[in-house]
Amino acid sequence: MVSEPTESGYRATHVRAKTSSLFDNENPIPCEIQIRTLSQDTWARISRADLYGKNVPENILKLTKALSKQFSAIDEIAQLIRDELNKPAEKAEDIKDSDPISPARLALLYNQHYSEDIWEWTIQDWVKNLEEGEVENIKEVRELLDDQQLRDRLNKITNKIRGYSLKDSEWAVFSAQIAAETSKTMGIKAVRKRIKEQWDEIVEFARGEALSEMPDTIEEFIEMIESGSIPTEALKELGGIECCHRCGTEIIRPEQAELAVL
C-alpha cells in the first residue's frame, strides 16, 4: 500500500507470515508485520483516532489523501538523505600502523578487519569518539578493535539489555567511546547507558504501537468486544493477557484485563 495507498491515504507495507509456537511446531500461527516509515507512521497515528473504523465523509477523505501525499513527499526527501548517509565510506588505498587516523583510513581498516564496508554516518560517529579519546594512529585503533575481553564484557551487557550481541559497527564506535572516557570503568558505564537509552526508545515505541489498539472510550471498547474483536497486543502489554506456563496458550485474566482497560 505504498504505490497504491488506501482510500483514506494510508501507506505502508504489510507482510503476512506465519510463526511457530514454542509449544506447537505443527500448527503455525498467522501474523502480520506492518512496515512503515516515520512519516507513514505519523500519518497513521494522526488519522487513527478520526478515521479508523468510521464512515468518513468524502470531503474529509480528500483532505486526508492530500495530507498523505505531503508526508510521502517528505519520505522521498528523507530517503535521499538516508541514501547519502548509507553510502559505504570511501576507503584509503593502503594503511600503516603509524598512519594518523582519518575517515578513509578507518574505512579501510574496518573492511580489512571485518570483510565488509562501513557506512558513512557510522564513520563520523567513530571518528568523533576517537578524537575525543585522543587516539592518534591506526595502531591504537587496531588495538581497540582487538580487545576481545572488553568486547565480551560489552556483549554480556547488551545481551542482558536487548537480548543480542553487538554488531561489528557498534563495537567499533563503542570501543572508541570507552577510550574517550577518563577510565575503562567510566567508559563501560557510558556505553551501557547509551545502549539502554537506545533500547528503551525502541521498547517505548513498540509499547505505544501495541496500546494504539485500545479505543478512546469504554463504549467503543464494549462495541469491540461484542463484535468479537479483542485488542490482544494492548491487553498483553497491560498485563491483561498472559501465556500459560505449561502449554503457551494465551489466557485472558478478567480482573487484570478490567483494570488494564480502565
Q: Domain coordinates of the chain in residue numbers? A: 1-85, 103-204, 213-262
- CA separation for the pair 152, 165 (Å, rounded): 9
pLDDT score for 155? 96
pLDDT at 189 over 80: yes
Q: Measured over all CA atoms, what is the biggest interatomic distance in the chain, rounded to whole angstroms?
A: 73
Phi, psi of 13 (to 5 degrees): -110, 125
- CA separation for the pair 50, 252 (Å, rounded): 29
Long-range contacts of 45-53 (CB under 8 A, 24+ apart): 45/212, 47/8, 47/9, 47/10, 48/212, 49/216, 51/8
pLDDT at 219 over 70: yes
How far is CA 216 from each of CA 29, 194, 219, rounded to the nearest angstrom?
Answer: 29, 35, 9
Instruction: Specify the higher pLDDT residue, 109 or 255.
Output: 109
- The tens digit of pLDDT for each residue in 104-163 reads 999 999 999 999 999 888 999 999 999 999 999 999 999 999 999 999 999 999 999 999
Helix%, strand%, coil% for the chain, nearest 5: 60, 10, 30
What radius of gyration, in Å, describes the C-alpha atoms of the chain?
A: 24
- The tens digit of pLDDT for each residue in 163-186 reads 999 999 999 999 999 999 989 999
Read off the C-alpha cell for 220.
Answer: 467503543
Rounded to two decimals, the pTM is 0.63
Outline where 52-167 has alpha helix (H). Answer: 58-85, 103-114, 120-132, 138-145, 148-162
